[in-house]
Amino acid sequence: MTSTDALLFNPATYDPQQFDAETRRLLKATIEWFESRGKRQLLADDADAVWVSDFLEFAKKEKLFATFLTPAAYADGDENRRWDAARNAALSEIFGFYGLAYWYAEQVTILGLGPIWQSDNEPAKKRAAADLVDGQVMAFGLSERDHGADIYNTDLILTPTEPGSPDDEAGILFRANGTKYYIGNGNVASMVSVFSRRADIEGADGYVWFAADSRHDDYELIDNVIHGQLYVSTFALHDYPVTAADILSTGPDAFSAALNTVNVGKFNLCHGSIGMVEHSFYEAITHSNNRILYGHSVTEFPHVRTNFVDAYARITAMKLFSDRAVDYFRTASLEDRRYLLFNPMTKSKVTSEGETVMTLLLDVLAAKGFEKNTYFAQVARYIGTLPRLEGTVHVNVGQILKFMPNYLFNPKDYPEVGTRLDAADDAFFWRQGPARGAGKVQFADWTPVYEKRTDIANVARFYEQAQALRTLLTTAAPDAGQQRDLDFMLTIGHLFSLVVYGQLILEQAAITGLDRDVLDQIFDFQIRDFNGYATTLYGKPSATAAQQEWAIGALRSPAGDRERFNRVWNQVASCDGVYAMRP
């Protein structure tokens, strides 16, 4: 795969032949809607914080969300409506390419649908499906100002109805009171999935998910907590009536529904981030390659080429990992829960890489990167939100650590996971089961994936580092005190994440026939990143002498190859002018 068109999303040449006819039509119609609107209007709407109502009208007309976000069981016979993670990922990339606000409107609809599609409340599911056809959006009422997204604590209280009271006779089970904070789409959502607890039951048994309507008189929309097109609401419920028809799940099932919804929702962050940095990359290379400083094109300077090659390799790696993670998510079952590792990886690692890419490009663009007529400036402003939505990076790296012992030391045989681009309904998303047992999940042996490509110099050197991580954990493992020190353990988690990242990159590179030079360049930065975290470990105040010795011994220099670098640079330079959004 040597064509940059095969690596980067380009609206001018995009033709998603891997999907069915209606999916292709809708993806291309979405692109055309944005292109017809034009860059000037999109940037003006962003600057003026214009709510995305015109986009939602388009989505309603095309039944876009209904087609992409309705499980087949509730599609009312429409064969095009299903929950298909592969095409949802493609749509997220397109939304990210044109503006985070459009991605966000769909993202919080996905989250709002999570507790609904997981529930046993059939009328609520049918109502959600009908609302999607009608062009409505959803919201996810979990977080609160005092508790954030802490599922263990909520101050949204359900007070049971007194037997024999007028409420009881009217079928009202509870009155809901409380405030939710940082809730996307809370201004217009027809169904707001609200996490609450009963006033009369202590602990997990008192948790309740119920569906509220933002248009109800007892629902108060307070404000948008940010300035922007994204409507991130604060709302309050004042004696809001909750009937049996509104209850989605209760007790431990409600707790699991919250976590499983986030599992589904945060998966979309990676492809949104990819779309954002792809558009920024086009702007950056086209501007830089045609700007003259001191009598030379900006891209003649060696440090500029280094930044661009690194950014290009990192974007490619983001796509490889995320696309391969789709296959594992779609193949998941109660017997194969490997997605529980790859999912937080897409969140913590891929979106953080998006930030790294933007820094590399901004160091080249400098002042140009802040100009109001660039899409780049919008992305630079928003790219940091994605690693910090649906749980911060450190929360997700902490989750990743649970899988490290079994991943590194206790492999299990699994059938090979193939590429999943088939037009299938991903029903398992809504029956993931209880949200526990992460430490018991096993993985296929990761070492053969690396050993197959040790003919590539930087893959071989990074594989030495990956093996060194196992040595650290067997000869100088964190002691009990260090294991309680999250700051120390997060560094271990980042080292482990690089090993997992490399595995799926290599798997997808083999599937796609990725250019050898680009793959070598990817593992150039993998080595450098591993060195960085190893050095951080060395400097931790609690690091033992054995751990410091390990850190020094784990360092490797990437295999330099000027000819390889130049070949990758030529791929980067070929992106000059291949895409510019219509004015």
Q: What is the pLDDT of residues 500-558, one digit of tens each?
A: 999 999 999 999 999 999 999 999 999 999 999 999 999 999 999 999 999 999 999 99
Share of the chain above pLDDT 70, in %: 99
> What is the reported pTM?
0.96
Q: 100 pLDDT exceeds 50?
A: yes
Domains of the chain: 4-134 (1.10.540), 139-251 (2.40.110.10), 267-412+437-573 (1.20.140.10)
CA distance 365 to 393: 27
Phi, psi of 392 (to 5 degrees): -70, 170
| Residue of 104, 100, 93 whose CA lies nearest to 7 | 93
Identity of the residue numbered 209: W
For Cα atoms 339, 536, 354, give the angle at the middle one, nearest 5 degrees. 45
CA distance 144 to 147: 5
For Cα atoms 483, 489, 494, give the angle at the middle one, nearest 5 degrees. 155
Which residues share a beta bridge with 174? 160, 242
Where would I find the beta strands (DSSP E) of 461-503?
Answer: none
| Residue of 434, 68, 476, 130 whose CA lies nearest to 271 | 68
Q: 561 pLDDT exceeds 80?
A: yes
Q: Taking residues 108-134, report their average pLDDT.
A: 98
Q: How many Cα atoms within 13 Å fall on the side-chain side of residue 85?
A: 28
161 in Cβ contact with 172 (< 8 Å): yes
Q: Taking residues 298-306, report their average pLDDT.
A: 96
Per-residue model confidence as pLDDT tens digits over 410-433: 999 999 999 999 999 999 999 998
Return the structure tokens found at 379: 């992305």
What pLDDT does residue 1 have? 40
Q: What is the mean pLDDT of the chain?
A: 95
Q: 579 pLDDT exceeds 50?
A: yes
Q: 2 pLDDT exceeds 50?
A: no
What pLDDT does residue 391 have? 66
**Class of residue 436 by CB neighbours under 10 A (exposed 0-12, middle 13-18, buried 19+):** exposed
Per-residue model confidence as pLDDT tens digits over 428-454: 999 998 877 888 999 999 999 999 999
**Class of residue 561 by CB neighbours under 10 A (exposed 0-12, middle 13-18, buried 19+):** middle
Q: 50 pLDDT exceeds 90?
A: yes
Q: Taking residues 343-358, report their average pLDDT.
A: 95
What pLDDT does residue 252 have? 94
Band of the pLDDT at 390, cuts 50, 70, 90?
low
1 in Cβ contact with 7 (< 8 Å): yes
Which tops the pLDDT comparison, 264 or 446? 446
What pLDDT does residue 514 have? 97
What pLDDT does residue 392 have? 75
Q: How many Cα atoms within 13 Å fall on the side-chain side of residue 518?
A: 30
